[in-house]
Structure formats: structure tokens, C-alpha cells
Amino acid sequence: MLFNSIDFAIFIPIIFILYWFVINKNLKLQNSLILISSYIFYSWWDWRFLSLIVFSSFVDYYVGISLSKTDGKRKRKILLLISIFVNLGFLGFFKYHNFFIDNFVEAFSWFGYSINRQGLNIVLPVGISFYTFQTLSYTIDVYKRKLKPTSDIISFFTFVSFFPQLVAGPIERATNLLPQFYKSRRFDYAKAVDGMRQILWGLFKKVVIADNCAIYANDIFANYQNYSGSTLLLGAFFFAIQIYGDFSGYSDIAIGTSRLFGFKLMRNFAFPYFSRDIAEFWRRWHISLSTWFRDYVYIPLGGSRGETWIKIRNIFVIFVLSGFWHGANWTFIAWGALNAICFLPLMLRKKNRDNTNTVAEGRIFPNFKEVYQIGITFFITLIAWVFFRAESVSQAFSYLSGIFSISLFTLPDFAGRSGAISTIILVIFFIIIEWVGREQQYAIEKSFIIRSRILRWGVAYLIVLTILVFGNFKENSFIYFQF
């Protein structure tokens, strides 16, 4: 079920009314309703894959219970390995099986051996990368004794399958989300209204910004051989805005929807395109994934401690893994490696923590140095996105060679150029709002604290009107559904 669909617009009010006005006095019934709703939400795409979530939930629930009953190191490690094997086994089979088969066959062809490829026609279950990491966080934290295992099976199953963030995150930690299912929840009008604002802003990002940018990004990337360098650069720009509007828009809707039901999810984006270096970008982009790799991979490997080669190894491990997490294609691995290369100089010079505050904090305009830093960081990120978007590594290099040609200094020329102008104006409008609201949790969070009720409603109606007039309502799926 898509957030930007009529189905979801009908689904949410029904669950909301039942949750707050029918069973509001019974916590177990509320959790059960959320669990059933989550399974319906996921089954809307393909009910057959619901069994994967249920099976993973059963495994990790009983592994957690078993870990609480033993202190033996060997047995505890075996239990942890069972959880890791089951979860990563499902992920590996559905997401990476054909990738490894194809590369195995190709590797042998280099030595003159011909092997008949026997790949499988595998459908990737939506959201498997997200809920796999989410449930793994529970088992690992219980194993490390950072979290007490739960005996409340309904709460645990609901934690794993919580529908607002089930398909594309944020990837919640058990230490944050699971305890929220134990506590009684009372309807908070202010939180619900704030949740609706964030949903509205997320919807604006998706249907007005991302889906309109997608029209031109898709065309330019599909026909890149026929376009000038300036057009290819504009196509990369459109994709950079598209993926941010699409993914952060999903996160906004997920977080806002959770607030409607009394839950608080972690922040997943913090205005990453206003970053002054790549390290800051990765502290602000897909925060739930980058912190997951930091806590469960990078730090256990030794983090930034030890000899220089160990630091370099650890950086490449987490960035390459992050890239591979996104998809079974060398383009994602190249994207991760490129980000690691850009990150390394900052870490080796101990400059990776220089920019931890908000840019131009307390000021309306940035200074020249900040503008330069933001521009350079965005350009590096934009170049990296070419690898992320391309079908192959060779296509990415061809696309980049097209950008860095003499035709870069010509005016962009492509089909629908006149229509793209209105999209660029909308993007500029969007960037201005994001800049003004960059010190908030989301851009329009404080737009509704204006004393004048007329102005408050005016802001809301302006956003709604913009969505209705400029929105793309073709029910386009979110980019991260494929991951």
C-alpha cells in the first residue's frame, strides 16, 4: 500500500477511529489492531511474503527468550548466529542470489570456462532490507545485554512489522521503539496535529518535488547518449532532488503517521544537502542506516581506533556494505566506495567532526565559506548519485564523461524542457523553505506556531493547493521500495 494512494487515504482514518475511539482503553487491543493493520498494509502488495516477516519475528522472539535463560557464552553465540543466519539468509537469497550467480559465471568466463547460468526468477519482497535490520537490532542488543528480551509476543511482532515504517524505514532500534508498545497511550491533539503537518510536508516532497523531477531524470538517464553535458548535469541534479524528496518524504509521512498513533520514531533526515563536507552529509542522510552500520559493524570492527590501515579498512567496509545493502549491482558498491574515498581524507586529518552544528546557525544567510563548502559537497554527492542511478558502472562512467565534455558549456536541450522550467521553480521554492526551516525537525514544523490563525491556515492551504495544482498523482512507488 502506497502512502500516496487513495487506499492509504481510506485505510488511515479507519484505523485511527478504531484505535482512539473504540479500543482506546485497552493497550493489548491497540497493539493487536496495529499488528493486524501492519499485516494488511504489507499484504496489500503481496500477501505471500507476509510469511517471511512472521517467520523472522518468531525466530527472533524465541531467540530473545532463550538468551534470557542462559549465561553460557557458547550457547549465547549459537543463538545469536541462528538469528543472523535466518535473517541474513532470507535477505541474501531474495536480494543477492542472482547477483552472485551471474558474477560467478562471469568470473569463470574470464578463464575460458563456459558455465550455464541457472538463475531463479526471484521477486524481491518489499522492505526486506529494512525489517531485517530492525529485527536484528533486537537480537544483537539482547545478546549484548543492552536490552531485556520481551515476553510480550504481540508487542514484539508489532515492533517488527509496524506499518508506518515497515517498507522503507526509518530502521528503528528495539531500544527505542519496542518499549513504546508497553506503555499506555493517550490521544494528544498537539502531537496529532504536528503529525499531520509532517505528513503534509512529506506528501509535498513526494508528489510535487520528487515525482516531477523523476519525469526529467528518467528521460535524461534513459537517453544520455543523445544529450549534451549541460543536459546530463541537469539530469543528475533532477535525480539528486528526486531521491531526497522521495526518500525523506517517505520518512516524514512515516514519522507523522506514527505520531497520530502516539509513537515517536527516530529522525531519518536532517537537511543533508546543506552539509559542508561528506562526513556531515552522512550524519544527515538516512540517519537510521548510517548509525546502524556505525553501531553494529564499524564500532565492533574497531572504529577509528588503532593503526591507520585499520581505520581505512573499517571506513571502506561500512561504506561498501552500505552500498551493497541498497542493491545487488556493482553500481551501488561503486557508489559506496566513492563515498568512502571522499570521506577518508576528512577522517585521516581528523576533520570529520568539524561540522556538527547546523550551517549558519542563528543567521538568515550563510557566509561565503559556507556557500563554497555546501556547493562542493553537493557537487561531490551529485556525481556519486550518477553511479547510484545508472544501470551499470560502465554506463555511469559514460554518463560522467558526457558531463565533463565541451558541451557542458551549452544550454540544456531535451524533450519537455519548457515543462522542466516550472519544476525547477518549484525546486527553488522547496530549497528556500528547507533552508528557512533547517534548524527544525522538518522544514515547516514552526510554520504553524504563528499567532494569527488566518496565517496558519493560509500556510496549510497554500501547501495543499500546491500539491493539488502541481502534484503528480500517478501513484508512483517510492524509490526505496526496491531496496
Query: Which residues participate in catalysis according to the annotation?
Result: 326
Contact between residue 43 and residue 287 where contact means Cβ atoms under 8 Å apart:
no
Residues 6 or more apart in contact with residue 270 via CB below 8 angstroms: 283, 284, 287
Q: How many CB atoms lie within 10 A of CB 435?
A: 17
Q: Measured in Å, how far apart are the chain's first and last C-alpha atoms? A: 16
Q: Mind spelling out the 3-state secondary structure of 124-169?
A: CCCCHHHHHHHHHHHHHHHHCCCCCCCCCHHHHHHHHHCHHHCCCC
Helices (H), 390-416: 393-403
**Positive/negative CA dihedral, 369, 372, 378, 380:** negative
Secondary structure of residue 434 in the 3-state scheme: helix
Tell how far CA 104 is from the center of its chain.
30
Contact predicate 42/167, CB 8 Å: yes
CB-CB neighbours of 60 under 10 Å: 27
| E strand map for 369-426 | none
Could you give the residue ranges of the DSSP H alpha helices within 144-188? Answer: 153-161, 174-177
Block residue for cell numbers 577518508: 344
Greatest alpha-carbon pair distance for the chain in Å reads: 76
